[in-house]
Amino acid sequence: MEQLLKLQQKIVPELIELLEKRYNILRTIYYNQPIGRRVLANNLGIGERIVRTEINFLKNQDFIEINTPGMSITKNGEEIIDKLKDFIHEIKGLSDIENAIKESLKLKDVVIVPGDVYEDKTVMNELGRTAALYLKNAIKSDSIIGVTGGCTIKEVIDNMPKMTHVKNVMVVPARGGLGRNVEIQANTLAAKLADKVEGSYKLLHVPENLSDKAMNTMMEEEDIKDILNIIHNANMLIYGIGRADQMARRRGLSSEEIQKIEQVGAVGEAFGYYFNKQGDIVYATSSIGARIDDISNIESRIAVSGGKNKAEAIISTEINNNNSVLITDEGAAREILSIIK
């Protein structure tokens, strides 16, 4: 199969390009249905005339249907998207890149989805869907799952199917609150995931960036002690990865703290810790939640992050974590490989 794909790429490369273009059109419609032709063209960054031609073909093949609200995917279209996903994956040589990153960073596993989240917003949907499927297969009965906040993890939780075959699952936020958007806070996402797996959850009603005095006082509360004990015993963690500079601003750090983070060479951030290019922790925010010792001992860590500009951050947080699974996109993966080489 692999040899046939390479042969096709050499002899009829235009067919591979056409296949990828039609796959991207179908994927964009799927995640935005119902969608109009003009919006579709804008999302894909291609001309309406080209879109019109491809839409006519896909409609004649019964992959899409066109109604007053816009275009939507048919059942046949959904099946072809699923089948094309693996094909596109092989065409682009993403399996080889997965193995190269896994070996170089010494990770448990690497999964790559085609595309770049910063060039095509539907890639974020695909990233969430892929991570949700991985998480679904990884969750076992009696698991304690820690969840961080953020848009990427929200996408994962939103794509999680209902699970009824696991029992006694507990979901907890891995850290205190961050920002004003309740929808992407760890507490909210922990509760949503617990509902998807028919499990239970505990909430951590503690803001980030507390003073040491306030934090020590809160940690003496029995309710806080109880949930921290559960968090410290989590055997699974799902989390996002951010660039150090961006996350420092999002976490509301002072200009002095941000300057210090830059001075110590931080490039990546995950669960409140800042990492340099060598993977060393060089700064940590004041927050109640999972400690680095707990995180290092968690048997199953699932990191989800995409985008070419996140490559350095991903390397810094994931290098030498042999209990970590990285789920990323093609944009980040190719840049990671370039940096490694």
| Parallel/antiparallel/unpaired status of strands 236-240 and 300-304 | parallel
CATH of 2-91, one of 1.10.10.60, 1.10.10.10, 2.170.120.12, 3.30.420.240: 1.10.10.10
In this predicted structure, the answer to whether residue 237 has a pLDDT above a threshold of 80 is: yes
Tens of pLDDT along 163-190? 888 999 999 998 766 556 788 888 999 9
Reported as a pLDDT band with limits 50, 70 and 90, residue 9 is low
User: Which of 242, 290, 6, 229 has the alpha carbon at shortest distance from 117?
Assistant: 242
* DSSP assignment string, 132-148: HHHHHHH--TT-EEEE-
More confident residue, 220 or 273: 273
Tell me, what amino acid is at 243? R
Domain ranges of the chain: 2-91, 94-340
Strands in the chain per DSSP E:
64-67, 70-73, 109-113, 144-147, 170-173, 200-201, 236-240, 242-243, 266-270, 273-276, 281-284, 300-304, 324-329
Rounded to an integer, what distance in angstroms lies between the CA atom of residue 93 and that of residue 41? 27
Percent of the chain with pLDDT over 70: 91
Tens of pLDDT along 125-178? 999 999 999 999 999 999 999 999 889 999 999 999 998 889 999 999 987 665
pTM here? 0.87
Fold of domain 94-340: Rossmann fold (3.40.50)
The pLDDT value recorded for residue 221 is 75
